[in-house]
Amino acid sequence: MTDDIIKVKTIGVLTSGGDSPGMNAAIRAVVRAASTVNLKVYGIKHGYYGLIHEEFTELDTHSVSNIIQRGGTILKSARSEEFRTKEGREKAAKNLKKYNIDALVVIGGDGTFTGGNFLAKEHGFNVVGVPATIDNDIIGTDETIGYDSALNTALEAIDKIRDTADAHERMFLVEVMGRDTGFIALETSIATGAELALLPEELTHVEEVKRQLHDMLKAQRRSSLVVVAEGDETGGAIKLAEKIKDDFSHYDMRVCILGHIQRGGAPTARDRVLASRLGAAAVRVLLEGHSEVMVGVVNNALKITPLRVAISKKKELDHTLIELAKLLR
Ligand code: F6P
């Protein structure tokens, strides 16, 4: 809580970084929660790029009708190199002042929060972060907006791959997103009954992977699914296939990269509810005088975490789930 209670009359909202299903539901919640207490809301298009280049558009309760079910973000998203510079942030601050914006709600992941933190520190703006990334790698919230949707998209795809893998008795290396963290890889591997999961959080010994796959084949598995996080130290599914293919030349191996389909599509019910909760909470905590914080949900209760803490480290995988995946394979 800041010493002086913030008098908020006008807020800005933006989405930045990799989009995630549920961002629209969060924008809607911010706008609707703000409208009920007569705050003026500007949507800023293209994230921090739009802040610098004055892409401001006033939003009211009607502007966010019929978007809760849509993937992507009506405000568009971008990664701005210019905003990484002091000069870029000065331009952004000037624009915020020009539009009398007292507070900013930034929806995104750690890069988005780092940008918001700079703005707060260097220019004294009130900033609240709403965690939205399919990677689920933000501390201070049990889940980020978009994670559940991405997980279910990957799950559906891998179930389909299992059908064809089984029909042809093939081995599939399936790559899922997760540059730095293996949340999607770990949970999809459990939910699809994959034979192996390779995660950025764990060392991958290629010889050990080969041994495990050989053991499974000996145990007469009809098909094998290996879920590989894109950030695994082998360098992803294609590189892994290169490294192991000679040992399995008698076995028909295929690689499938799920890629950006995991970022799109309608958000699940859980993501819509989470986004609605967090968007409304962001407005509430701003009115209560908080700034430089992120809102999250932990054990089904709202939690406020300082932005500097939220960006200080990546969320860790639940080690009991890693053990469970190994136990059940
Ligand atoms: O949004 C997070 C993420 O999906 C990562 O898992 C992935 O590595 C990255 O974004 C890819 O982003 P882009 O294609 O936008 O560069």
Q: What is the pLDDT of residues 283-327, one digit of tens each?
A: 999 999 999 999 999 999 999 999 999 999 999 999 999 999 999
**pTM metric for this prediction:** 0.96
Mean pLDDT for 60-76 is: 98
Cα distance between residue 181 and residue 174, in whole Å: 16
Q: Pull the structure tokens for residue 227.
A: 């879920």
Please name the residues in contact with 54: beta carbons below 8 A apart, sequence gap of 6 or more: 95, 98
Regarding the beta carbon of 263 and ligand 1, being less than 6 Å apart is answered: yes
Q: Helices 319-328 and 183-192 meet at what angle, rounded to 10?
A: 30
Which residue's alpha carbon is at the smallest distance from atom 6 of ligand 1? 178
pLDDT digits (tens, 9 = 90+) for 218-232: 887 678 999 999 999
Q: Pull the structure tokens for residue 167.
A: 């029909």
Q: What is the pLDDT of residue 3?
A: 47
Q: Could you give the C-alpha distances from 75 to 63, 98, 114, 227, 263, in angstroms and in order?
A: 11, 20, 19, 33, 16
In the reported structure, the alpha carbon of residue 236 is separated from the centroid of ligand 1 by a whole-number distance in angstroms of 14
| Residue-range domain boundaries for the chain | 2-146+267-310, 148-263
Is the pLDDT at 4 greater than 90? The verdict is no
| Phi then psi dihedrals of residue 295, to 5 deg | -100, 140
Is the pLDDT at 5 greater than 70? The verdict is no
| Percent of the chain clearing pLDDT 70 (strictly above) | 98
Q: What is the mean pLDDT of the chain?
A: 95
Please name the residues in contact with 142: beta carbons below 8 A apart, sequence gap of 6 or more: 296, 297, 298, 299
In the reported structure, the alpha carbon of residue 17 is separated from the centroid of ligand 1 by a whole-number distance in angstroms of 8
Q: What is the DSSP string of 214-226?
A: HHHHHTT-S-EEE
Q: What is the pLDDT of residue 105?
A: 98
Strand 103-108 relative to strand 10-15: parallel, antiparallel, unpaired? parallel
Is the pLDDT at 79 greater than 90? The verdict is no
Residue from 49, 112, 135 whose mutation best tests the ligand 1 pocket (most atoms within 8 A of CB): 135
Cα distance between residue 311 and residue 314, in whole Å: 7
Q: What is the pLDDT of residue 240?
A: 97
Is the pLDDT at 6 greater than 60? The verdict is no
Please name the fold of domain 2-146+267-310: Rossmann fold (3.40.50)
Cα distance between residue 169 and residue 269, in whole Å: 35
In the reported structure, the alpha carbon of residue 209 is separated from the centroid of ligand 1 by a whole-number distance in angstroms of 26
Is the pLDDT at 112 greater than 50? The verdict is yes
Catalytically annotated residue among 102, 110, 135, 137: 135
Which residue's alpha carbon is at the smallest distance from atom 15 of ligand 1? 18
Regarding the beta carbon of 267 and ligand 1, being less than 6 Å apart is answered: no
| Tokens 């209670």 sit on residue | 5
Regarding the beta carbon of 98 and ligand 1, being less than 6 Å apart is answered: no
Task: Using the atom order of ligand 1, give the atom closest to the CA of residue 262.
Answer: 4
- The answer to whether the beta carbons of residues 169 and 139 sit under 8 Å apart is no
The verdict on whether 135 is a catalytic residue reads yes
| Tokens 């050989």 sit on residue | 214
- 2-146+267-310 and 148-263 in the same fold: yes
Pick from 149, 246, 235, 223: nearest CA to 198: 235
Residue 218: HSE in the Cβ half-sphere, 13 Å Cα cutoff: 6
Q: What is the pLDDT of residue 219?
A: 81
Mean pLDDT for 267-284 is: 98
pLDDT digits (tens, 9 = 90+) for 149-207: 999 999 999 999 999 999 999 999 999 999 999 999 999 999 999 999 999 999 989 99
Please name the fold of domain 148-263: Rossmann fold (3.40.50)
Regarding the beta carbon of 211 and ligand 1, being less than 6 Å apart is answered: no
Cα distance between residue 127 and residue 172, in whole Å: 45
Which residue's alpha carbon is at the smallest distance from atom 3 of ligand 1? 18
Q: Pull the structure tokens for residue 123.
A: 């220019």
- The answer to whether the beta carbons of residues 86 and 25 sit under 8 Å apart is no
